[in-house]
Amino acid sequence: MKIRFTHFALAFLLNLSFVGNAYSNPLAEIHSCMDDAEEVLELDYTGIYDAYRYVSVGVGPLIFTPNIGIGYRVRNSQYGWDTSLSFSTIGYAHQLSGHVVGHYYLDPHLDNSTYVGFGLLASGVLSNHHHSASTLSPDFVVGKGLESTGNRKHFIEAHVAAPTLWKGSKHFRTMHFPLMYVKYGFSY
C-alpha cells in the first residue's frame, strides 16, 4: 500500500511539473501579445491636417426651404471646426444665419470620415412686411466626408438647432420647434 501511495504521489508531482510548464509559456505569450496590441492601439494622428473654403447647397431652416451658403473648415487630427454663413428665403421671409461648430472625427485617417459636432447658430429673419427677428440656438451636427475628386472635398451634413431663443419686436421667447438644415458642400 505504501508503494502504491508513493507511486501515486510521484506521478502527481511529475504531472504537476509538466502542467506548470505547459501553462506558463502560453501565459507569457498572451502577455506578449497584449503588449503588442497596446502598441498597435496607440494611433498616430500627427500630420492629419486639412483646411478649405466651401460652398453649400441644401434645405433649411424649415424643410423644403432652399438654402445656399459659404464657409471655411479646418481639421487637425481628430478635431476640427467650421464657420459658415448661409441664406435662405421663401419669397416673403428671408433668413441670414451664421454657424460656428466644432467637429470630432470618428476616424480621422479616412478622407470620408464621419463626424459629429456641436456649436452655435445665430440668425436674423427679415420679412417683406418690415418685421424682423433674431434667433440664437445650440447647433448639433452629424456629417460625413465624401470621396474626394482630385483636390476637391465634398461632404454632406445635417444640423439640428433646438431649443431656439427667438427675439421678435421686444421680448425674448423660446421656440421648441427645431430648425433643421441638410447641406451638401464642396470645396473651391
Query: Mean pLDDT throughout 170-181?
Result: 86
Q: And the C-alpha cell for 186?
A: 464642396
Looking at residue 128, its pLDDT comes to 86
pLDDT of residue 149: 78
Single out the residue of 165, 147, 151, 159 nearest to residue 183, CA to CA: 159
User: What percentage of the chain reaches a pLDDT higher than 70?
Assistant: 76
DSSP string for 8-37: HHHHHHHHHHHHHHHHHHHHHHHHHHHHHH
Note the pLDDT tens digit of each residue in 103-129. Answer: 999 998 887 899 999 999 999 999 888
How many other C-beta atoms can be found within 10 angstroms of the C-beta atom of residue 123? 23
Q: Residue 178 in contact with residue 161, Cβ under 8 Å?
A: yes
